[in-house]
Amino acid sequence: MFQGQFMLEQLEERIVLDGAVADVQDVQDQTSDANSVDSLGWVYVNDGWWYEDTGSGWWFNENSGWWWNENDGWWLKSENGFDFWYRGEHQYWANEISTGLWFWWDDIDEQYWEPAFKWFADQINSEWTWVYNDWNGTFYQTNIEHYYYEDHATGDRWQWNSLSSIWKPIPSLVADINAGDYNSFPEYMTVYNGQLYFAADGDSHGEELWRYDSATNTVSLVADLYAGYIDSDPHELTVYNGELYFAADRGLYETELWKYNSVSNTLTFVADIHPNYGSNPQFLTVYNGALYFAATDGVHGNELWKYDSTSNTASLVADIRPNSDSDPAHLTVYNGQLYFIANDGTHGDSLWRYDSASNVTTLVTDHLWRGGGLIVYHNQLYFSAYDAGPYWKYDLWRYDSVSGSVLAAGRNPSFLFPCNLTVCNDQLYFQATGALGDELWKYDWVTQSASLVADIYPGDGHSNPGSSDYWQGMVEYRGQLYFPADDGAHGIELWKYDPQSNTATLVYDLREGMYGSYLLHLVVYDDELYFCAYDDIHGRELWKYHA
C-alpha cells in the first residue's frame, strides 16, 4: 500500500517537471539572438545571458547552452540526446529525450547513473534489493522488514516499521574518509565554532586533524601536521579562549601542545615542555582562564601543568609525587576549584583539588578507582571509591565541598566498579558490575538510592553500556540516554534509554549479526548524534543519527 502511495507522489512531481521541460524547450526553439528584448519577453544582459521578463525565473546562456531558474535553483542543459538537470550536490538528473527515461547520478555510493522514477534491482550487501530514486532521495527494499529511504541532500536515512506503519530514523554514514573497507577511525570529536573537529586516518595523510561542517555537509582535512603517511595523532581536543587546543606529534615521537584558529586558519605550536621527547599532554581542561593538563618535562614526572594564553607560558602547577609520576587524571571543575585523581605514592589513587586563588593543592580523600572518573551532580562531586566496610568493594561516593564531607551515595551490595558516570534528565547513570553482569544502573538524588535500569544482556552476560569511560561512552540527546551496548544477539550497537517510559531499546542494528558495529566516541552536534562505527563496506567511519 505504501509503495503505491510513494509512486503516486513521485508521479505528481514528474508531471510538474515534465511541464517545465516542455515550456523551456518551446522557448529555446523561438528565442531571438538579437541583443534586445525579443518578442517572447526575453532580455539580453551580458556574457551571453538572457532572462525571461515574465516572472518565470528562467535564464539562458547562449554560449554554454545552460538554463537556470532563479526561483527553484534548477539548472538545465540539452546535450547528446539528454536533458540534464542539476540542483546542487546529490541532485543531478538526466532525461533521455528519445525514450523519456529518467536517470539519477549516484554520487553517494556507486558513482554512476542509475534509473530514476522506477523500481530496479541492485545488489547491496550481497543481497538483491529493489531501488527507486526520486527527486530528493532513494528508496531501498529487500523485504517488508528491510525498507529504507535515504535523503540525497543530507544523507539522513529512515527505515519503514511494518508494525507501527511509520518511518523510523536510522544512522547514516557521514563520510567514508578512508575509502573502501579501510578504517579512518574518527575519534576525539569536539564542537568548535559551529563545526565538528576530530582526528582521523585519511590514508595518504595518516591520522591528522579533520572537520565536518553540517551546513555544507562536507568533511575536510584541517592540516597534515606530520606530512605524509605518518600519524601526528591529534588528541585531547579542547576549546580554550576561542581556539582549539590539542596534543599532537610533530615528528620524532615528540607529542606536545598545539592549537588551531578557525578564523585565521592557522596552526600554531604552543609549548615545547619536554624538548626532543615530548610532554604528552593529557586531560586538557579549562579552569579559571587557563588550560590545565597532565604532562611531563622529564624532570618532575607526569604532573599537573597549566598554560596561560595571555602570557603565552606553560608552567608546572604542582609536583605531587617528586621523582616519579602522580599521573593526574579526570580533571573536573567543581565549585570554583579544580579536582582530579592522582597518586602521591602514599595514598594510592586519590581525590585531589587545586585552588588557583591560593595556588594550593590538597588531598581530599583516598582509595579512589581511577577508571570510575569524576562528575558533578546536584552540586556535589561523584566518583568511585573503595568501601572499607561493610561491603569491602568499590562503590559510588560523593563529596560535598560546602561541608567538606565525603559521603556514600546509594551504597548497594548488588554492584561494584561504577564507571561511565553520566547525567541525563536529572538522574545519574553509570555502568556497574552486579549479579547480572556489567549493566546500566542509575542513582536517584531524591531517594538517594541506586538501582538497576535494565538487564540488556539477559542473565549474567555483560552488555557493557558505554563500553569505555575514555571514549565518550554515554551522552544525553533529546532527553534520552544514548550509549553502545551488547545484548548478546547483535553485538555492540547503539542503544537508548527513555526515562519517561523507563525502557531501554536497540536503536538500530547497523552491522547485522552478532559481531556488531563497535560504535564509540558519541557526541551531540547540531542537534544530531555523531559517532564512530564499523560496517563491512566502509570500515570504521563517521556516522550520525537524527532522532
* pLDDT interval class at 51 (50, 70, 90): confident
Cell of 212: 565536518
Cα–Cα distances (Å) from 519 to 14, 146, 210, 328, 535, in that order, read 40, 22, 19, 28, 10
Global pTM? 0.78
Output the pLDDT for position 109: 66
Q: In what order do the strands lie in the sheet with 480-486?
A: 475-477, 480-486, 492-498, 503-508
What's the average model confidence in pLDDT over 235-244? 97
The residues, ordered by sequence, that sit 6+ positions from 72 with a Cβ below 8 Å of its Cβ are 57, 87
Residue 29 has pLDDT above 50, yes or no: no
The residues, ordered by sequence, that sit 6+ positions from 412 with a Cβ below 8 Å of its Cβ are 395, 396, 449, 450
What's the average model confidence in pLDDT over 400-410? 89
What's the average model confidence in pLDDT over 428-452? 91
Cell of 258: 598545539
The residues, ordered by sequence, that sit 6+ positions from 128 with a Cβ below 8 Å of its Cβ are 121, 122, 142
Q: Report the alpha-carbon distance of residue 152 to residue 150 in Å, rounded.
A: 6
Tell me the percentage of the chain whose pLDDT exceeds 90: 54
CB-based contacts of 356-362 (< 8 A; 24+ apart in sequence): 356/287, 356/288, 356/290, 361/304, 361/317, 361/318, 361/320
**DSSP structure class, residue 471:** G
DSSP SS3 for 521: strand
CB count within 10 Å of CB 190 equals 20
- Range in 117-121, 186-190, 341-345, 379-383 with the lowest mean pLDDT: 117-121
**DSSP structure class, residue 25:** H
Tell me the percentage of the chain whose pLDDT exceeds 70: 88
DSSP SS3 for 476: strand
Q: Report the alpha-carbon distance of residue 293 to residue 318 in Å, rounded.
A: 11
What's the average model confidence in pLDDT over 305-325? 97
* pLDDT interval class at 28 (50, 70, 90): very low
Higher pLDDT, 153 or 295: 295
* pLDDT interval class at 284 (50, 70, 90): very high
The residues, ordered by sequence, that sit 6+ positions from 439 with a Cβ below 8 Å of its Cβ are 431, 432, 452, 453, 454, 455, 456, 457, 462, 463, 465
DSSP SS3 for 192: strand
Phi, psi of 122 (to 5 degrees): -145, 145
Higher pLDDT, 230 or 359: 359
Q: Report the alpha-carbon distance of residue 388 to residue 409 in Å, rounded.
A: 14
Question: What is the length of the chain?
Answer: 547
The number of angstroms, rounded, from the C-alpha of 380 to the middle of its chain's C-alpha atoms is: 29
CA angle (105, 534, 131) in 5-degree steps: 30
- Spell out the alpha helix ranges (H) of 158-202: none
CB-based contacts of 291-298 (< 8 A; 24+ apart in sequence): 291/238, 291/240, 291/245, 292/317, 292/331, 292/338, 292/354, 293/236, 293/257, 293/331, 294/327, 294/328, 294/329, 294/331, 295/257, 296/325, 297/273, 298/274
* pLDDT interval class at 33 (50, 70, 90): very low
Residue 149 has pLDDT above 70, yes or no: yes
What's the average model confidence in pLDDT over 531-547? 92
* pLDDT interval class at 268 (50, 70, 90): very high
DSSP SS3 for 371: helix
Phi, psi of 27 (to 5 degrees): -65, -40
What's the average model confidence in pLDDT over 339-353? 96
State the average pLDDT for the chain.
86
Residue 245, classified by CB atoms within 10 Å of its CB into exposed (0-12), middle (13-18) or buried (19+), is buried
